[in-house]
Amino acid sequence: MFNFLIRKDIRKILKRKDSDAGERGRALEDLRASIFNELRSSEGARRQQQRLCGPAAALTFNFVVAVGIIFMNKLVLKNVGFHFPILLTFIHYLVSWILMAILNAFSILPASPSKPTRSSTLFALGFVMSLSTGLANVSLKYNSVGFYQMSKIAVTPSIVLAEFILYKTKVSVSKVLALAVVSIGVAVATVTDLQFHLFGACVALAWIIPSAVNKILWSSLQQQENWTALALMWKTTPVTLFFLVTLIPWLDPPGVLSFDWNLMNTSAIFMSAFLGFLLQWSGALALGATSAVSHVVLGQFKTCVILLGNYYIFGSNPGTTSICGAFTAIAGMTVYTYLNLKVQSTKALSRQASLLPKSKLGKENSSVLDGTYAIPSPGGAPSVDVLRGLDIVSPWIEHCTYEF
């Protein structure tokens, strides 16, 4: 057996296997290093986010999580009897921060952009996040789900107005009409479920402006300043936690220490907190991939899907008026989505046209554009200019370059 192993050909085979295993190991190490290097730069992390989570994936992810957390939060606030919506929001963000700290400890959390963002902007985002999420849960406690979704209608014109004031962003007339159809359809669809409390209605009214500013800041910081969703969450969550602590004595009732923290209740609260982390992450991904208005339209689409799902799957009958309103809203969302896709395709074509002069063909023809054309001489000798002063050739070549 020993003589067999020390044979020359056997030693070559074993050495080759060791070499192959070493190459595979080095390849895996290089792959892992490249992934970590990609995450450690904000530009690379941003490219990874855009590659792995495009607009359709981000909106679908946010839609599924948002539907789940609405019912989970309603379960916690009503059935479990946890009547502390601001504290629930605080637990959500605390769990999110702990999960991101774990990612950061393993160097998986994406890096911040190399170009620094003003601290006041990050502070403002953390502040409006605390108001937006906290007041939303207070509104959900005192009002029905239908009224909660109804109050979101006012967020759409608020975002359009705020984006015009802050960034001079204009919305076409066709988009305004599509958004009006969506808002009217959602209003008609939810008119049969408008149970609300006076205090809850005031909270819903106070929630509109922070919610609009929150969505605008999330979208603009990711699209204009190269932030990723997780990196921006990591920077702003401590500010949000601080302001949520200050809101607890004002908006939460007393008696949190007397709550029955048994296994079932605690599990439901922490399940809601985990969904809260996924909602924050998916919402940030959707806002970074689309726009603030598109994210609100997604929320209204979610309302209509919940209403129609209850009707077709569970046999509930909200009334013909509500069903017609839901279909009207979905028709308006379809038109709005089509208009957005049309604008995006136009921008993509213009971007490709602007890049065409820098293409390889344009570089090859650059000498002709100058009035000369170089043909390499045989034998590797330096090229010689055989066409000089042919001005009539230049416009034709330039036209061909753009057409390709």
Q: What is the pLDDT of residues 113-139, one digit of tens each?
A: 888 889 999 999 999 999 998 998 888
- Percentage of the chain beyond pLDDT 90 is 24
Check residue 397 and give its pLDDT. Answer: 33
Q: How far apart are CA 239 and CA 230, in angstroms?
A: 15
- The mean pLDDT value for 269-293 works out to 90
**The pLDDT of residue 158 is above 90:** no
The answer on pLDDT for 80 being more than 70 is yes
Q: Phi/psi class of residue 319: alpha, beta or left (left: φ > 0; alpha: ψ in -120 to 50)?
A: left
Q: Does residue 14 or residue 94 have the better pLDDT?
A: 94
272 against 300, higher pLDDT: 272
In 3D space, the residue among 380, 331, 396, 295 whose CA is nearest the CA of residue 65 turns out to be 295
pLDDT computed for residue 34 by the predictor: 53
pLDDT on residue 18:
54
Given this model, what pLDDT does residue 166 score? 79
Residues of the chain with pLDDT > 70: what percent? 71
What's the pLDDT at 22?
58
Query: For residue 361, what pLDDT is reported?
Result: 45
Q: Is 221 helix (H, G, I), strand (E, B) or coil?
A: helix
Task: Tell me what pLDDT residue 376 has.
Answer: 47
Q: By mean pLDDT, which of 10-14, 70-74, 190-194, 395-399 is the weakest?
A: 395-399
pLDDT at residue 370 is higher than 80: no
| Contact assessment for residue 170 and residue 293, using Cβ atoms and an 8 Å cutoff | no
Region 20-28: mean pLDDT is 58
DSSP letters for 330-383: HHHHHHHHHHHHHHHHHHHHHHHHHHGGGSHHHHHTHHHHTTEEEEPPGGGPPP
Q: Per-residue pLDDT for 162 more than 80?
A: yes
> Residue 386 in 3-state DSSP?
strand
Q: pLDDT band at 313, cuts 50/70/90?
A: low
pLDDT digit string, tens, across residues 319-363? 788 888 888 888 888 888 788 777 767 766 776 666 555 544 444
Name the pTM for this structure. Answer: 0.69
Per-domain residue ranges for the chain?
7-40, 55-351
Q: Which two tokens stand for residue 29?
A: 């190490």
Q: Which residues contact 373 (CB under 8 A, 6 or more apart)?
A: 367, 385, 386, 387, 390, 393
